[in-house]
Amino acid sequence: MSGTAVGITGLTKAFGGLKAVDDITIQVPPGRIHGILGPNGAGKTTVLNMVSGFIQADSGRIEVFGNDITRMQPFRIARQGVGRTYQNIRLFPGLTVLETVVAGAYAQRKSTIAGALLLNPSERRERREARERAAALLDQVGCRAPHSALAETLSYGDQRRVEIARALATDPRVLLLDEPTAGMNDAESQEVGRLLVELRDLGLTLILIEHNMRLVEDFCETVSVMSSGALLAEGAPTWCLEQDEVKEAYFGKRSDAARIATLRRARRGPGGA
């Protein structure tokens, strides 16, 4: 497993009598942008919830850079270098944009309770450095909103950017993103795609759930396609999206399979550009 950033082996999760995830195996190498695709209800978010520790797997194993995290609590998984954003934006009410991102760095702080109460020089320096890094991360993700604004009052797209910046403040090695471009237009989505490449080039491994097929094809190097909790296809995005089983999973019947290709061509423009 030394060549694997995230190793998911035989992962299964059932809710009542329904298997949300059924014996899934996904291996993501370091420095890869990997997409998890599939129609609504496929089990994609359940996989991310198990990797980040928010729900426990019934069976199977999850490793991050060779370390078994299958039964770890979420805060311990975060300390293993796993950052996370959510399908439904989760910002802290009442915090400013800058404060929200600074909060993401809490686990990385070295100051003691006594130092925080007394505001000794090392505590003041650490707070200043946390604010400076938060400002740099906001600039990196393309958030131009005033740092003093309440994060919850921003546009949907900027709230997404703040959430990504907060996840980056945890100093992750692996970043899990659940629909990072939801609510964004094409230009904004492409900006996020370029950010993913930039983060990968800095050494991060990225795993994202995404319904924006243009973003997936333009920026994901590999994908895993799920349906009804099972793995349908895995490999290069374009190859996977051409498989009949994948088309059927999205559209419900093979007679509609051509529609996904037509939709993809329309989104990419004349000549597939």
pLDDT digits (tens, 9 = 90+) for 11-36: 999 998 899 999 999 999 999 999 99
- Total number of domains in the chain: 2
Query: What is the structure's pLDDT at 62?
Result: 98
Burial string for 96-123 (b: 16+ CB within 10 Å, else e) reads bbbbbbbbbbeeeeeeeeebeeeeeeeb
Asked if 237 contacts 214 with a C-beta cutoff of 8 angstroms, the reply is no
Query: What is the structure's pLDDT at 53?
Result: 95
Task: State whether 192 and 73 are in the same domain.
Answer: yes
Is 263 within a domain?
Answer: no
State pLDDT tens for residues 215-273: 999 999 999 999 999 999 999 999 998 888 888 887 665 544 455 555 555 445 544 44
How would residue 116 be classed by pLDDT, with cut points 50, 70 and 90?
low
Is 7 within a domain?
Answer: yes
Closest by Cα among 204, 157, 152, 150 to 179: 157
Task: State whether 60 and 189 are in the same domain.
Answer: yes
Task: State whether 180 and 150 are in the same domain.
Answer: no
Rounded CA separation 210/180 (Å): 7
Averaged pLDDT for residues 72-80:
93
How would residue 107 be classed by pLDDT, with cut points 50, 70 and 90?
low
Is 269 within a domain?
Answer: no
Asked if 62 contacts 69 with a C-beta cutoff of 8 angstroms, the reply is yes
Is 120 within a domain?
Answer: yes
* Segments forming the whole domain that contains residue 254: 1-81+172-258
Rounded CA separation 160/151 (Å): 10
CATH code where residue 17 lies: 3.40.50.300
How would residue 114 be classed by pLDDT, with cut points 50, 70 and 90?
very low
Task: State whether 152 and 180 are in the same domain.
Answer: no
Task: State whether 66 and 116 are in the same domain.
Answer: no
Q: What is the value of pTM for the model shown?
A: 0.84
Is 264 within a domain?
Answer: no
Task: State whether 73 and 208 are in the same domain.
Answer: yes
Give the rounded percent of residues in the chain with a pLDDT score beyond 90.
Answer: 63
Is 268 within a domain?
Answer: no
How would residue 69 be classed by pLDDT, with cut points 50, 70 and 90?
very high
Task: State whether 178 and 150 are in the same domain.
Answer: no
Arithmetic mean of pLDDT over the chain: 87
Is 164 within a domain?
Answer: no
Task: State whether 193 and 149 are in the same domain.
Answer: no
- How many angstroms separate the Cα of 128 from the Cα of each of 85, 111, 112? 25, 13, 16
Query: What is the structure's pLDDT at 133?
Result: 93
Among 111-125, 161-175, 187-201, 239-253, name the one with the lowest average pLDDT.
Answer: 111-125
Task: State whether 63 and 181 are in the same domain.
Answer: yes
Could you tell me where the beta strands, DSSP code E, fall in the chain? 6-15, 18-28, 33-37, 59-64, 67-68, 82-84, 174-178, 205-209, 222-227, 230-235
Is 134 within a domain?
Answer: yes
Q: How far separated are the first and last CA of the chain, in Å rounded?
A: 38
Task: State whether 146 and 203 are in the same domain.
Answer: no
Adjacent-strand bridge partners of 11: 24
Query: What is the structure's pLDDT at 89?
Result: 84
Query: What is the structure's pLDDT at 252?
Result: 67
